[in-house]
Amino acid sequence: MHGEIRIGDRTTIYRGGELLGPVTIGNEVFINRDVYVRPQTTIGDRVNIGPFVRLITDTHEIGGHHKRAGAGRNDPISVGDGTWIGAGAVVVGGVTIGAGAVVAAGSVVTADVPDDVLVGGVPARVLRHLDREE
């Protein structure tokens, strides 16, 4: 599946990354080096993504005994406005990260993340709630 990659105004993407569309990236986004972004990913405005982050939408149905990796699919990822994803974090398909959230470096995000929280760990869990500043 290959598709359009839309990149908003004043967005910076450093070298070495791979983006495979369809992908939508908002305005004023910063994507550090060697980031891997797979199809069906939407990144909001003012998001910061650290180096070596992986946004992996690819997965498979569970197949039978002779081949467990069945039919492939891409489950969408959505990253809310103002979010910061730390270095080396992995976000798997089907996850929505809320606005203003922080994903700690090295975390593996396997479930939705609410707005304005700090998550971390493997798998990532809420570590604390963050103040909401308007």
Are residues 53 and 95 in contact, defined by beta-carbon separation less than 8 angstroms?
Answer: no
Does residue 114 fall inside a structural domain?
yes
Does residue 70 fall inside a structural domain?
yes
Active-site residue 65, yes or no?
A: no
Please give the residue range of the domain that contains residue 88.
5-126
Angstrom distance (rounded) from CA 50 to CA 3: 24
Does residue 15 fall inside a structural domain?
yes
The active-site residue out of 2, 60, 66, 129 is 60
Does residue 92 fall inside a structural domain?
yes
Does residue 134 fall inside a structural domain?
no
* pTM score of the predicted model: 0.94
Closest CA to 112 of 84, 130, 93: 93
Does residue 133 fall inside a structural domain?
no
**Residue 41: which CATH number?**
2.160.10.10
What are the tokens at 53?
């982050």
- The yes-or-no verdict on residue 23 having pLDDT over 80 is yes
Give me the number of domains the chain comprises.
Answer: 1
Angstrom distance (rounded) from CA 23 to CA 42: 6
Instruction: For residue 63, give every residue at least 6 positions away whose Cβ sits within 8 Å of its Cβ, in sequence order, or none.
Output: 69, 70, 71
Does residue 132 fall inside a structural domain?
no
Residues 32-90 pLDDT 10s: 999 999 999 999 999 999 999 999 999 999 999 999 999 999 999 999 999 999 999 99
Does residue 43 fall inside a structural domain?
yes
